[in-house]
Structure 1
Amino acid sequence: MSQAVPGKETIEAAHQLIAPYIHHTPVLTSQFLDEQSGAQLFFKCENLQKVGAFKARGGLNAMLSLPSEQLTNGVTTHSSGNHAQAIAFAAAKVGAKAYIVMPENSPRVKISAVESYGAEITFCVNTPEARQTAVDEIITRTGSAFIHPFNNYEVIAGQATAAKELMEQAGEPLDLLIAPVGGGGLLSGTALAAHYFSPETKVYAGEPEGAADAVLSFRSDKIEKAPYVKTIADGLLTYLGDKTFPIIKQHVSDIWLVSDEEIIAAMRYLWERMKLVVEPSGAVALAAVLKNRELVKGRRVGIILTGGNVDLGRLPF
């Protein structure tokens, strides 16, 4: 496993490695949302990615980067859903066994998807400590290789390919690039991609008020936990890792907080106006843009719509 922050060549190699397995997702625009924001918006539709989320990129890159002898005992990870699906999907592609630890309150749609890829699920209470304990037990029992959901340089390099594609597809350089932040795998990858492939592009993050750890870490210069956790954006509940945080601190301009009401309004716009099925976590970047109109006005703005794995029986509108 790589011990170094991914370089430009590493991200290019990751892109080549995963290209045969992923969708080259479209970049869409919306006249309505351009008018709402006062900016020119370019939406990278990772909700249309394999497994319904950008996580397929990092999961595949990490899996395909493992030496074959490490795959013989399978792989394990912990995730509330999208990374779980990515690892289960990637393991099925390479013929490895996947052991997935999921919180017992994970969305049913995500649990069903993980099962459909043939992974073995272990449920735990939804705390980072319980997740890690369950993973450690599986590794002791099976000898499987652990792929962290975000604090892993192969995962970060894989996630960086979404922003790399977006910048290529947008044509002219983007002024701003916005991604949501949970553990920071996507955000750190996005920040590195902008740094290497479009240095003039500034990177910002959207974060739910109900899981505001990254913004605290960003201000205090050390990894913080959120003062409280209560948000509809179930994919963004984790705090930053020791690999993701330094990259974010160095290359991200700012982190914008949004309320659940703002997330739901953005999600509704995406469903109604763009006909895109996007989950709450996936709408956070758009919510952040709409909240900060004065900062994006007249700019070319890339937005990563991270996923579309919604429990249709529990829509917030």
Structure 2
Amino acid sequence: MTSEIIDKKVGARVFFKCEHLQKTGSFKARGALNSAVLAKENNAKGVYSTLYSLKQIAHSSGNHGQALAWSALKIGVPCTIVVPKNAPSAKIDGMREYQANIVFCEPTMESRESICAELAEKDDKLYVDPHNCVSMINGHASIVFEILDQVGEHIDSIFISVGGGGFASSVAFLIGTLRPDIEVYLVAPEQKELSNLLENGVQCSVSTLNTMADGVRVAHVGSLCEPILRKFCKKRVLNVKEEEIKDALKLIWTRMKQRVEPTAALAFAGVLYHKPNHIKCPLVVLCGGNVDADYIIN
């Protein structure tokens, strides 16, 4: 998608890759489908994963959980999701619609890890981590082939929101390998201190970020993702303020009429407020659109 009004406001020709219109409402379907296929090929008895604490999934519909449940149903393997007891019913219902088996845990890291360990040992299911997972990272790479086929001759850069880093590292690696002339920019809330990690090896001091972009509240990128991001995007990190995310979200909602989630607006905020002057044709990945029906931009 494109928007003449946004082009004028940004001062560049901006392309939007609409992953919020993807199956289950986010890019997560790509990696999840790959994971379900591999589970079936390897004769696993199913796939399982977790949602994190309630604080980390508020306002979204559990993108990873829904994507994995849909993919497992599509491929024909059982799916189990470990969910905190205090998770909103809307999140649970979304996964149950795809016939996922919901296992409740206490809203603590210890309880979640304990139940996951039991599932792995007892049921012989393949664990699919939302971020730090080879099958997820490899599956996400399908977006790169689409982007290059659709607008590869028109763009000079890609702007992508960064949480755990699975999606970003996938895009950064494949673009860096196939089209190094296209610059990949990592957009993150300023609290994440991603530049400090990639340049100095210093991790963020907190584990969860306080940001409206709930899909990237995980503060640390995965161990598989970090070296990839350091190699390809070390000097291309954009730190965004909360007000900038909010402004970007309003602009997409009102001018493009696309109800994306705040995490998708984060990537656009990088273009809107922090685009390097030499970038003339950026592509923004609108990573997801799972936002509660009653969510209001304050």
| TM > 0.5 fold call | yes
**Alpha-carbon offset, residue 278 of structure 1:** 0.3
User: Residues 125 and 299 from structure 1, CA distance in 2 versus in 1: closer, same or farther, beyond 3 angstroms?
Assistant: farther
**Alpha-carbon offset, residue 65 of structure 1:** 2.0
Matches within 5 A, 1:218-237: 218-221=198-201, 223-226=203-206, 229-237=209-217
State the distance in 2 between where 1:41 and 1:221 align.
33
Structure 1 length as normaliser, TM-score? 0.83
Give per-residue Cα distances to partners, 1:217-263, cap 9 Å, x unaligned: 22322554537621111111222111111110101142212122211
Counterpart of 2:23 in structure 1 is 50
Question: What amino acid is the match of 1:284?
Answer: L
State the distance in 2 between where 1:297 and 1:105 align.
47
Counterpart of 1:60 in structure 2 is 33
Higher deviation after alignment, 174-183 or 62-71: 62-71
Counterpart of 2:251 in structure 1 is 269
Which residue of 234, 256, 278 maps to 2:260? 278
Higher deviation after alignment, 48-57 or 173-182: 173-182
Counterpart of 2:99 in structure 1 is 118
Counterpart of 2:121 in structure 1 is 140
Report SS of the residue matched to 1:40. coil
User: Residues 299 and 183 from structure 1, CA distance in 2 versus in 1: closer, same or farther, beyond 3 angstroms?
Assistant: same
Which residue of 159, 164, 172 maps to 2:145? 164
Counterpart of 1:101 in structure 2 is 82
**Alpha-carbon offset, residue 77 of structure 1:** 0.8
Question: What amino acid is the match of 1:44?
Answer: K
Question: What amino acid is the match of 2:49?
Answer: T
**Alpha-carbon offset, residue 108 of structure 1:** 4.8
Higher deviation after alignment, 39-48 or 235-244: 235-244
- Aligned 8 A contact 2:250 2:297 in 1: no
Q: How many residues align?
A: 287
Counterpart of 1:175 in structure 2 is 156
- Aligned 8 A contact 1:109 1:309 in 2: no
Which residue of 172, 182, 188 maps to 1:191? 172
State the distance in 2 between where 1:99 and 1:228 align.
24
State the distance in 2 between where 1:306 and 1:95 align.
26
Report SS of the residue matched to 2:14. strand
- Aligned 8 A contact 1:78 1:132 in 2: no
User: Residues 93 and 216 from structure 1, CA distance in 2 versus in 1: closer, same or farther, beyond 3 angstroms?
Assistant: same
State the distance in 1 between where 2:207 and 2:291 align.
26
Unaligned runs of 5+ in 2: 52-56
**Alpha-carbon offset, residue 103 of structure 1:** 4.0
Report SS of the residue matched to 1:241. coil
Unaligned runs of 5+ in 1: 1-27
Counterpart of 1:76 in structure 2 is 48
RMSD of aligned C-alpha atoms? 2.2
Give per-residue Cα distances to partners, 1:47-100, cap 9 Å, x unaligned: 0000000000000012112354533x2111123411111110111012211111
- Aligned 8 A contact 2:268 2:284 in 1: yes
**Alpha-carbon offset, residue 305 of structure 1:** 0.3
User: Residues 40 and 121 from structure 1, CA distance in 2 versus in 1: closer, same or farther, beyond 3 angstroms?
Assistant: same
Report SS of the residue matched to 1:267. helix
